[in-house]
Amino acid sequence: MINYIIKRVIMMIPILFGISILSFAIMYAAPGKPAILNLDPEISPEVREAQAERLGLNDPVPVQYMRWLGNVAQGDFGTSYSRKIPVTDMILERLPNTILLMASSLFIAAIIAIPFGVISATRQYSLTDYGVTVGSFLGLATPNFWLGIMLIMLFSVQLGWTPVGGISTIGADFSILDRLHHLILPAFVLATADMAGLTRYTRSSMLEVINQDYIRTARAKGFRERRVVYKHGLRNGLIPVITMFGLMLPTMIGGSAIVESVFNWPGIGKLFIDATFQRDYPVIMAITMFGALLTVIGNLVADILYAVLDPRIEY
């Protein structure tokens, strides 16, 4: 297992290197420069050119990339063009908020999708199965930004049950209930698409498991159906589902940018959107690499959990 983890960590290096090259090239292919976009329009072209020169934006793109890569190798992701503070400080400031949102979303998706997937599998071709299937496809087809706006209109504007956005009540002392009050809608919206996919994946996995010989043997011994399904079947049925959690990380990272913008949640996703509009290159690259690293680590953890759940697997 240790050798496998070491090999996977080594494999992460060229993957992250390739992602950094593509991200840097795509970012610089966009029109406009930060020095032009962020300065007062009344400032003379000479001042703008001097600002661009100071930021190194007049250098060839390969030179800028190698300079950025050298700084990153030393743990320096640069300074934000717009806020004039280190990018690392900006990310660490917002990272806990994004982790809270993603963890809550993952929890909501798991506690709803897995039971519904099991019920759908055990009641195959019933009205319940069809209802869960239709609900899953609707969840997959519904855009996060539209669902978020509709839920805000219903629960915040019309009913007044939840805040319109933000992470806490302005001027109020910190409390867990207040944080949960602001968290519930964005976490649910972020979980919707993953919840739908996880439901279908759980159903497919359980359908394969409940037709195995050892399940029929357990039934023949007189065990109750609930025990057969949840004790004997679910453990093995969850083995392939575990890999889904690693695959859900990229969609959650991308979805969090949209959801955080809709609900004005001060996380890394919203920071990325703001930086994109401002052409704040150091912030964009730092968040891109953070998302790529988190995705690779998530897949590695999924593989390890797969081996823990299935003792037949050896690395």
* pLDDT of 214: 80
Residue-number span of the structural domain to which 237 is assigned: 87-270
Spatial separation of the C-alpha atoms in residues 24 and 288, rounded to whole Å: 10
The more confidently predicted of residues 30 and 195 is 195
Write a three-state SS string for 99-112.
HHHHHHHHHHHHHH
Residue 34 reports pLDDT greater than 60: yes
Specify the pTM. 0.83
Strands (E), 65-174: none
* pLDDT of 131: 92
* pLDDT of 184: 92
300 domain residue, yes or no: no
What is the domain count for the chain?
A: 1
Q: What integer best gives the mean pLDDT of the chain?
A: 84
The answer to whether the beta carbons of residues 301 and 247 sit under 8 Å apart is no
202 domain residue, yes or no: yes
119 domain residue, yes or no: yes
* pLDDT of 52: 76
- Of 175-179, 237-241, 261-265, least confident by mean pLDDT is 237-241
The more confidently predicted of residues 106 and 312 is 106
45 domain residue, yes or no: no
Backbone angles phi, psi at 86, to 5 degrees: -55, 140
Q: What is the CATH number of the domain that holds 214?
A: 1.10.3720.10
Q: Is 212 helix (H, G, I), strand (E, B) or coil?
A: coil
Residue 174 reports pLDDT greater than 70: yes
Spatial separation of the C-alpha atoms in residues 271 and 275, rounded to whole Å: 6
